[in-house]
Structure 1
Amino acid sequence: MPTTPALVSALRELGDRPAVVADGRAISGIGLLLGVSPPGGLPRALAERVAQHAALAPSAARAAEQRLRYWAGVLGPPPIRHTVLHPVTELAVELALATLLAGGTVHCGDPDQQPDRQLAAVAAHGTTHLSLPSALLWRLSRQPDLAAHDLGALRLVLHVGPEPRQEDVYAAVDALGAVLAHVRAPDSNAETADRRLRAAADAATAAAWKHSIGITADQVHDFGTHLDRAVLRALLHALQQHGVLTDPERGHSEAEILATAMVAPAQRPRVSRWLDALARHGLITRHDGGAQGPLHAGGPELGAAEARDAWRPAVEAWADGLGPAAPLDRVRRGALQLPRLITGEATPHPASAPVRWYAARGYLGATLGTLVRATAEAHTGPAPLRVLELDPEGADTTVSRALAARPRPNAEHHPSPDGGRYDLVVAAATRPPQEESAALVPLLAPGGRLLLLAPTAEQLDLLITGPARPQHCARPEEQWRAALTAAGCPTVLTLPEDGHPMGLLGQRLFAARVD
């Protein structure tokens, strides 16, 4: 078995012939072995790598040359005059060394040079192989004076970058007349972090799958339609019992409605929201009343039986495997108390979550727990994983259970900020997207993750069981994503994904990271 590394043998075989050409200066194979090179840049990196390689034991040299042999196979048979238009990277050095191993010559170009000068150099060297970043390739292939350069010797172009668009590839092939081979750039730290977050999200989706068995998008949609219809009729019926909004021909100002219905001051914000919802959904009409402000006109008067019967389709749809009976029963009982609630005769019950969210609770809980656990298991730092859980529902939360599972991770679980920054922040949104994102993202340490449960659709049942003033700032998914991105999260994933039945329930989990 030969004891001389193959790369060293190839350079010796080149002898005094050019091995590397840079800035008009040629360095022979023997010169490279002797350490000759201009200062800095790719030639210096090649000389240093050749010196390191020559000092390796035969077994280590063979192992190091395995990857070089792969690239040499990609380059193909001689002659190889390889122009490398890369900055000094590990991949650029490997491609250059593979060229030398295959008996070729490396021409070190300047990736920052003007495109016309780069093309002129490629033509002057009779380049057979060209390697460069993908973005530079697209730029060169679109040069208006490209046809003025003789690139007839060019056989293979290796471009390094993200997955290319087909139209860019076709344009470059037509322009250069060579075979194009795409080399995916090595993952950056950001790409690695993205890949890990997406893998964790995929695992979380798989873990939560069982909680959506038997639930269809049509079922969720139908329930939502029936629920909203029943809620709106309950609101209108409650106001009509106080003698307002019974005549489609008569308009009432908000002040008149509040006074006639004897709405208590604490409940006026609630009734204002009722009027807005009823007008938006077409149960009453609203038009400009000039100095009086908007005027609201009602519709046909609803009877108690009609308002009561409106709940039946919602109850039947909910009972078909969507969730427990108690949340919907709470809304129905609350609807019966509305006439007394708005006058202050009935005491408001503690606010509760929207009914739809109870259907999503198992799915989102499993998703959240899996993401928390995956983040903890991936933590490799010597210091504990710092976890901040804002607005926890109690001592035994999904987060605490995930962190308590064996084997227990090295983690600190904080219920409130302590002035430091955190590797993981878990929160439920209570503010609009821009405010929430601006408050939460700065709490993250470099490389940290944010898991944010946020409302993405209006929940009309909160007009009955929620507080007089709204707490949930429902916004479409794209607004939450945009706000998190603007706040400094380059990657934002949404769970469940679009099209999933659980995504129609009005609450989504956003998994985001910072660099």
Structure 2
Amino acid sequence: MLDWTYRAVTALRQRGAAAGRSLRWSAGDVPQALPIRLAAMLLGARFSAEQPASEGGDALTITDADLSALDAARASEPRMADDAPFSVVRGSFVWSAAVFGESLAAMRDALGPSPARTAVLSSLAGFGGDAAFASWSAGAPVHHLPAAASPAKALAFLERAAPDCAILSAALLRSLVAHPAAALADLGSLRRVVYDAGVGGALSVESSAAVRRVLGAELADRIASGAGLVPLERELRRAEQEAARIAELVTSCPGVAAAAVIPSEGDSWAVFAVPAKRARDGADGDASGQRLISEATAALEAEFAGTDLNRAIAAVERLGQTALLSMLNALSRSGLFTDAAAVHTVDEVLARARVAAEHRPLIRRWLRVLTEQQLLRRDGDLLSAARPVGDYSDAALARAWDELKGEWLATVGATGTIDYALRNAERLPDMISGAVRAVHLLFPEGRTDLARALYRESIAARYQHRAVSHLVSRIAKAWPGQRPIRLLEVGAGTGATSESLLPELSGADVDYLYTDISRYFLDQAAPRLTAYPSVRFGLYDINAAPREQGFVPSSFDVIIGGGVLNAARNTDASVRWLSELLGPGGWLVLTEPTVEEFWVMASQAFMLDDASDGRAETESTFLSLPQWNAVLDGAGLQRVLGLPEDGHPLQRLGHRVFAARAKTDRVPLTSERLSAHLGERVGAAARIDIVDELPLTSGGTVDRERLRDWAARRQRLDSRSNPKAASQARSQ
């Protein structure tokens, strides 16, 4: 270490380091931070892991590229000056009283008497380096793991190193205690934990008790803070007082009903604010919103005025009837319903068709629908064909599909949907048995051409895409905010909705987050959407809570879902989660089928998960219109638009456009407005979350542990989406 230090002196002198100058460390948590720190002291320079405010641009920055010069430099002579701030006696560092004496003594006191082995899991450029020096001064060896290590790696490291004292950040300490493997880890030698409250804030009384219980170690009674090493009680009291002061500032903002503030990582604060209730329901009297709806509806009707809707609708209905005959044909190819006299029970159908277990609910729905559509007849437990066998023979189906293809081409100008449906019809016996997976038919050889056609060609799809485009573009262009309007598209898939909408957003100030559960679709979309710099890409799973994915409540103004929520396992939960993500007055715009689509039952339905919502009760592929209305109402949304309107020709196809407003009973509070209110009265950075309610413990008090979990998830999301912004002063 000493040889490395003297090499660092040479390297730093060559870079211009001198007494009084500041060195800014930006090379990460690597061992070279220690000799650089020692060399800086020998030169009389100041060392900092942050940009020194007083130095401006004059600070000397040490980066990864400078570390190679450290190895190449020759050690300075003499190796130790008479007035050096430290010396070495029998392998231990000894510090002069004038340099680092008080901090060293405080750290030595925190480590406890005679530490035998210290594990450092904190930055060597800061708190971890102080601990390393203090350990060496006590003659104890130091084992180091970079501070960014995961909880699992940290636990494994502590088991291997077997320290009696561990140095780590408050954030990592909380993660360790919460990790499932912590209770099983062999940490018998660990007797003391010293943590850095400057990274994650001071632990609560409950968290401190959890450390003792889970890790079997005592917490040091001194922790690092902005004021140096201070007693734990003093830091907790200071943090509580400052949090209370900030919370009082937050609640003084008009429109805030309640607030909670907790320390967050990086000497920052996590602010949670609840919007106040409005005196009346805002959406009923929202004349501007109703005007947007009227304008969008009028533009939509004008766009389709010259379309032969009846012919296009007839082609869709013919597709459904042909799919029904294909279902019956597939069963006949398994030896079922081969003549008018053949009768079978449901169980016999499932057995003889070799129906895979995961597809049995779907095939039961087939039998019910075929009976309702009078292709099968039921007599007690027995089913028989209600149509002549010739109607669903191979030859009859070949003619039907060929005629349908010609009609589809005449009405929509392409045949991709029919090509896909026919491909599925031909492979139905193998799909039923599980020998062929439906996803491979939709994306043959990984191609998306069939899927793209599927979501664009039909008259219902075209009507829905244009309805969404007319409405959302008007919402965006009328946006009154001082920041871009934030749009989230979930289940964006092949981009059928965004392809129609994005050109309409020209001239609007938007931040468009294009998401899907699969990165495959994001990678496919990115090259196509390079002309739209406002579009970002991310993952979103409609079957998982937004916070579990790092998303923040009330963070979007418009959420769009084009035909995706029928893939949800529980539509009620998925819609509630989307509602949470909308700010007060935000718009949820969805397109969904509300009747059985027979051709979907013979294709994409093989890819859908079993539902645990209203579809399970009605044994249907899609929610009905009344069920959808109940879902929206149950999520606390106010329904403001449903298309097609009553009496419209497209109404009989059952494809609906829903528009609903969220939290119309709340004041439209935003993080930008609250940030402006706080101004410079909060010295450290503040990440602001607008939440519907503050979480409470069983005793009725604010659940601060849950708030810490929310804050940690927000921190990870900010770091992934914008690493630079995540470290800056105030979240916007």
Which category of TM-score, normalised to the shorter sequence, fits these structures?
0.5 to 0.7
Q: Give the counterpart of 1:301 among 373, 376, 389.
A: 389
Q: Is it true that 1:500 corresponds to 2:500 in the alignment?
A: no
| CA apart distance, 1:460 | 0.6
C-alpha distance in 1 between matches for 2:475 and 2:592: 20
Q: Is it true that 1:391 corresponds to 2:479 in the alignment?
A: no
| CA apart distance, 1:412 | 5.5
Could you tell me whether the CA contact under 8 Å between 1:456 and 1:508 is conserved in 2? Answer: yes
C-alpha distance in 2 between matches for 1:396 and 1:281: 32
C-alpha distance in 1 between matches for 2:435 and 2:307: 40
What SS does the aligned partner of 1:461 have?
helix
Residue segments in structure 1 that go unaligned for 5+ positions in a row: 1-186, 290-294
Could you tell me whether the CA contact under 8 Å between 2:423 and 2:441 is conserved in 1? Answer: no
What is the root-mean-square deviation in Å for CA atoms of aligned residues? Answer: 3.3
Could you tell me whether the CA contact under 8 Å between 1:200 and 1:371 is conserved in 2? Answer: yes
Show the counterpart of 1:328. 418
Show the counterpart of 2:56. none
C-alpha distance in 2 between matches for 1:190 and 1:342: 48
Show the counterpart of 1:402. 502
Show the counterpart of 2:629. 481
| CA apart distance, 1:309 | 2.5
In the superposition, relative to structure 1, how do residues 409 and 214 fare at CA in structure 2: closer, same or farther (>3 Å)? same
Could you tell me whether the CA contact under 8 Å between 2:424 and 2:602 is conserved in 1? Answer: yes
C-alpha distance in 2 between matches for 1:272 and 1:483: 25
Q: Is it true that 1:223 corresponds to 2:315 in the alignment?
A: yes
Show the counterpart of 1:419. 552
C-alpha distance in 2 between matches for 1:210 and 1:325: 26
In the superposition, relative to structure 1, how do residues 257 and 362 fare at CA in structure 2: closer, same or farther (>3 Å)? closer
Q: Is it true that 1:255 corresponds to 2:388 in the alignment?
A: no
Could you tell me whether the CA contact under 8 Å between 1:328 and 1:355 is conserved in 2? Answer: no
In the superposition, relative to structure 1, how do residues 270 and 474 fare at CA in structure 2: closer, same or farther (>3 Å)? closer
C-alpha distance in 2 between matches for 1:355 and 1:441: 25
C-alpha distance in 2 between matches for 1:356 and 1:296: 37
Show the counterpart of 2:593. 455
In the superposition, relative to structure 1, how do residues 245 and 439 fare at CA in structure 2: closer, same or farther (>3 Å)? farther
What does 1:52-67 align with in structure 2 at a 5 Å threshold?
Answer: none
Q: Give the counterpart of 1:241 among 324, 333, 352.
A: 333
Q: Which moved more, 1:304-313 or 1:398-407?
A: 398-407
| CA apart distance, 1:298 | 2.6
Aligned residue pair count:
323
What does 1:240-389 align with in structure 2 at a 5 Å threshold?
Answer: 240-289=332-381, 295-299=382-386, 300-302=388-390, 303-322=393-412, 324-348=414-438, 349-351=440-442, 352=451, 358-389=458-489
| CA apart distance, 1:494 | 0.9
Paired residue type of 2:638: P
C-alpha distance in 1 between matches for 2:475 and 2:645: 20
In the superposition, relative to structure 1, how do residues 206 and 242 fare at CA in structure 2: closer, same or farther (>3 Å)? same
Could you tell me whether the CA contact under 8 Å between 1:386 and 1:424 is conserved in 2? Answer: yes
| CA apart distance, 1:410 | 4.8
| Identity across matched positions, percent | 29
In the superposition, relative to structure 1, how do residues 339 and 439 fare at CA in structure 2: closer, same or farther (>3 Å)? same
Residue segments in structure 2 that go unaligned for 5+ positions in a row: 1-279, 443-450, 516-539, 541-545, 610-619, 665-732
What SS does the aligned partner of 1:381 have?
coil
C-alpha distance in 2 between matches for 1:188 and 1:355: 36
Could you tell me whether the CA contact under 8 Å between 1:228 and 1:460 is conserved in 2? Answer: yes
| CA apart distance, 1:400 | 9.3
C-alpha distance in 1 between matches for 2:495 and 2:310: 36
Could you tell me whether the CA contact under 8 Å between 1:389 and 1:399 is conserved in 2? Answer: no
Could you tell me whether the CA contact under 8 Å between 1:433 and 1:483 is conserved in 2? Answer: yes
What SS does the aligned partner of 2:585 have?
strand
Q: Per-residue displacement from partner, 1:229-278 (whole Å, max 9, x unpaired)?
A: 21111111111122112344443222322322333445444433322221
Paired residue type of 1:451: V
C-alpha distance in 2 between matches for 1:354 and 1:499: 26
C-alpha distance in 2 between matches for 1:220 and 1:269: 31
In the superposition, relative to structure 1, how do residues 389 and 198 fare at CA in structure 2: closer, same or farther (>3 Å)? same
Paired residue type of 1:215: T
| CA apart distance, 1:393 | 2.1
Could you tell me whether the CA contact under 8 Å between 1:452 and 1:511 is conserved in 2? Answer: yes
Q: Per-residue displacement from partner, 1:137-174 (whole Å, max 9, x unpaired)?
A: xxxxxxxxxxxxxxxxxxxxxxxxxxxxxxxxxxxxxx
C-alpha distance in 1 between matches for 2:413 and 2:400: 19
| CA apart distance, 1:218 | 3.2
In the superposition, relative to structure 1, how do residues 375 and 350 fare at CA in structure 2: closer, same or farther (>3 Å)? farther
Show the counterpart of 1:441. 579
| CA apart distance, 1:455 | 1.2
What does 1:82-93 align with in structure 2 at a 5 Å threshold?
Answer: none
C-alpha distance in 1 between matches for 2:633 and 2:421: 36
Could you tell me whether the CA contact under 8 Å between 2:594 and 2:622 is conserved in 1? Answer: yes
Could you tell me whether the CA contact under 8 Å between 1:385 and 1:411 is conserved in 2? Answer: yes
Q: Per-residue displacement from partner, 1:353-385 (whole Å, max 9, x unpaired)?
A: 868973233332222122222222222233442
In the superposition, relative to structure 1, how do residues 322 and 211 fare at CA in structure 2: closer, same or farther (>3 Å)? farther
Could you tell me whether the CA contact under 8 Å between 1:252 and 1:296 is conserved in 2? Answer: yes
Could you tell me whether the CA contact under 8 Å between 2:334 and 2:353 is conserved in 1? Answer: yes
Q: Per-residue displacement from partner, 1:35-78 (whole Å, max 9, x unpaired)?
A: xxxxxxxxxxxxxxxxxxxxxxxxxxxxxxxxxxxxxxxxxxxx
Could you tell me whether the CA contact under 8 Å between 1:453 and 1:509 is conserved in 2? Answer: yes
Could you tell me whether the CA contact under 8 Å between 2:465 and 2:496 is conserved in 1? Answer: no
| CA apart distance, 1:327 | 0.7
Paired residue type of 1:288: G
Could you tell me whether the CA contact under 8 Å between 1:279 and 1:285 is conserved in 2? Answer: yes
Q: Per-residue displacement from partner, 1:97-150 (whole Å, max 9, x unpaired)?
A: xxxxxxxxxxxxxxxxxxxxxxxxxxxxxxxxxxxxxxxxxxxxxxxxxxxxxx
Q: Which moved more, 1:261-270 or 1:318-327?
A: 261-270
| CA apart distance, 1:282 | 1.4
Q: Per-residue displacement from partner, 1:203-228 (whole Å, max 9, x unpaired)?
A: 22344346534434532443244222
Show the counterpart of 1:71. none
Q: Per-residue displacement from partner, 1:392-446 (whole Å, max 9, x unpaired)?
A: 1257852895388432415463634412212211123224664454333233211
